Amino acid sequence: GGKLRESLRKLHSSSGRVTKDQLNALLSDISRALIESDVNVKMVMTMREQIKTKVMTQIEAEESKGDDQDDQNRRSASHLSKTVQKAVVDELTNLLNPENKAYSLKKGKANVVLFVGLQGSGKTTSIAKFANYHQKRGWKTAMVCADTFRAGAFDQLKQNATKLRVPFYGSYTEADPVLIAEDGVNQFKKEKYEVIIVDTSGRHKQESALFEEMQEISAAVKPNNTVLVIDATQGQAVFDQALAFHSAVDVGSVIVTKLDGGAKGGGALSAVAATESPIIFTGTGEHFEDLESFHPESFVSKLLGYGDMRGLAEAFKSVDGDGKDTLMKQLELGKFCLRDMYNQFQKVLSMGSMQKLMGYMPGMPEYLIPKGGDQEATGRLKKFMYMMDSMTNAELDGKVDLSKKDDPKVQSRIRRIAAGSGTHIQEVMMLLQVHRQFEGMVGKSKGLFGKNAQAKQQQ
């Protein structure tokens, strides 16, 4: 993502008229960056041609219109950079918004959701997360283990279910997964369960046997939705995998797992393209809570290296409890004072996964993002908070302008803050810089996160 952004920035800051060579060079850079992010090679090539045609047509149309200053500006490199940037974002976002919409669960009915995917892709784990998510939101949820292939599969599901207090069905002795699936689903239907999740095995010795088994289970339980679980770390292999599953069973939604590690995320685009189905959630860790709703705009923004303010807001929301999310409100207003930052850091410290959150914070400069684990990050955030503890209310509330570094009055405030918190002047300046970056991001997000702009929340 970073590279792509850099090449766009390079172009943006170069001046003068745009040549076709420049456009080609930019498109090559973008293509390389997308392929490095695991976006399917064929998709990248198609996109490249589409964008090229679109932008060329635009340039040619503008060239044919006289040569006054306005036109020259319109043909400037920075204008092209913006045009291309927008075309890339639009194209990627479109790819993630297939025409088929995700099945939405019906209240008071039995919704059978069948999970399929290769062994190890994260089905059983995602089922636990999915069950947890819906149970927490008041759905009567149960799970069925129709994986008789993998040793210990039933134990794994049972353990998760027990921890979550979700009823489960399975067998240690019955070897026919189709029978188990059918019996389990029928039992839970009778007991008026609303979300009945069916786990399947991932891979047999022969792939065709796996697909036959999947088809038989599907025919037996007649799922309302079939969820394909895709492991993001599979990169370029995702497209063919997803296509194979989709041609065997009628995939309706996708969950992309393991987006927490080094996975670059391009596989998500492949999965959607191959199945023509939307992503409903992403998995971002091994715990039950590590499940996130999917928003194409945020995903594309992160893929291109712009950070993800919405992801951050959602993560904070789960700490605040539903309904009183302050960061979301600030994003809507486009305001973010030092006190707001203090409050957000405090929440970060009360949460589990620091590095994940750091990844969300686009205002955090690269050199401040810890590579070595959570302890380092905690230390840095705490130091920032000590500095803010030494600030006056007026400073915290943004009533004093601390941005004029050359103003002796500001310098004296910074000295006071450093002395009061036992830190260095440079560290205080760094804090102020981080805040300005946050402020800039939040400012830009104004209007993007309002009610109308908000993507439909997944069920």
Footprint on this chain of ligand GDP (rule: CB under 6 A): 117, 119-125, 202, 229, 257-258, 260-261, 283-286, 290
How far apart (Å, rounded) are the C-alpha atoms in residues 295 and 93? Answer: 9
Asked whether position 160 contacts Mg ion by CB under 5 A, the answer is no
> Among 396, 404, 388, 424, which residue's Cα sits nearest to residue 336?
396
Work out which of 124, 277, 298, 344 binds Mg ion, going by CB under 5 A.
124
* Span near Mg ion by CB under 5 A; candidates 124-132, 162-170, 212-220, 221-229: 124-132
How far from chain centre, in Å, is Cα 138?
Answer: 25
Give every strand in the sheet of 195-200, ordered side by side.
168-169, 141-146, 195-200, 111-116, 225-231, 253-257, 279-283, 291-293
Cβ 215 to Mg ion shortest distance, Å: 18
Two tokens at 120? 């190890």
Nearer to ligand GDP by Cβ, of 127 and 364: the residue is 127
Shorter beta-carbon distance to ligand GDP: residue 1 or 117: 117
Closer of 123 and 264 to Mg ion (Cβ): 123
Give the number of residues in contact with Mg ion, rule: CB under 5 A.
2
Q: Least separation, in Å, of the C-beta of 71 and ligand GDP?
A: 50
Our CB check for ligand GDP shows the closer of 60 and 286 to be 286
Whole-number Å distance between alpha carbons of 161 and 168: 6
Q: Is the dihedral of CA 301, 303, 304, 307 positive or negative?
A: positive
Judged by CB, which is closer to Mg ion: 79, or 158?
Answer: 158
CB of 125 to ligand GDP, least distance (A): 3
Residue closer to Mg ion (CB basis): 122 or 265: 122
202 neighbors 167 (Cβ within 8 angstroms): no
Under the criterion CB under 5 A, does residue 421 sit at the interface with Mg ion? no
CB 210 within 8 A of CB 204: yes
Give which of Mg ion, ligand GDP, none residue 117 binds (C-beta under 5 to 8 Å, depending on kind).
Answer: ligand GDP
Bridge partners for 143 per DSSP: 168, 197
What distance in Å separates the CA atoms of residue 33 and residue 38, rounded to the nearest whole number?
9
User: Which residue, 163 or 329, is less far from Mg ion as judged by CB?
Assistant: 163
Q: Which span (84-92, 115-123, 130-138, 385-393) binds Mg ion, by CB under 5 A?
A: 115-123
- State the minimum distance, in angstroms, from the CB of residue 231 to Mg ion: 12
Residue 289 Cβ vs ligand GDP, minimum distance, rounded to whole Å? 11
Residue 36 or 174: the one with the smaller Cβ distance to Mg ion is 174
φ, ψ dihedrals at 91, nearest 5°: -65, -45
Q: Could you give the C-alpha distances from 440 to 72, 229, 313, 443, 444, in angstroms and in order?
A: 29, 37, 16, 5, 6
Q: Closest separation between CB of residue 122 and ligand GDP, Å?
A: 3
Per partner kind, with CB cut-offs from 5 to 8 A, the member of Mg ion, ligand GDP, none near residue 284 is: ligand GDP
How near is the Cβ of 147 to ligand GDP at its closest, in Å? 7
Question: Measured between alpha carbons, how far is 401 from 337 in angstroms, rounded to an integer?
Answer: 11
Of 257 and 423, which has the nearer Cβ to ligand GDP? 257
Cα separation, 262 vs 355, whole angstroms: 12
Closer residue to ligand GDP in complex, CB, 59/255 = 255
Cβ pair 190, 108 in contact under 8 A: no
Closest CA to 117 of 237, 235, 209, 244: 244
SS3 content of the chain, % helix, strand, coil (to 5): 60, 10, 35
Residue nearest to ligand GDP (CB): 283
Q: CB of 197: closest distance to ligand GDP in angstroms?
A: 12
Element containing residue 81 per DSSP (H, E) = helix 77-95
Q: Which of 311, 308, 332, 303 is nearest to 445 (CA)?
A: 332
Window 267 to 326, contacts with Mg ion (CB under 5 A): none
* Residue 122 contact partner, candidates Mg ion, ligand GDP, none, CB within 5 to 8 A by sort of partner: ligand GDP
* In the complex, minimum distance from the CB of residue 233 to ligand GDP, in angstroms, rounded to a whole number: 9
- When CB distances are held under 5 to 8 angstroms depending on the partner's kind, the choice from ligand GDP, Mg ion, none that residue 260 binds is ligand GDP
> Which of ligand GDP, Mg ion, none does residue 283 bind to, with CB < 5 to 8 Å depending on kind?
ligand GDP
Site residues (CB under 5 A) for Mg ion?
Answer: 123-124
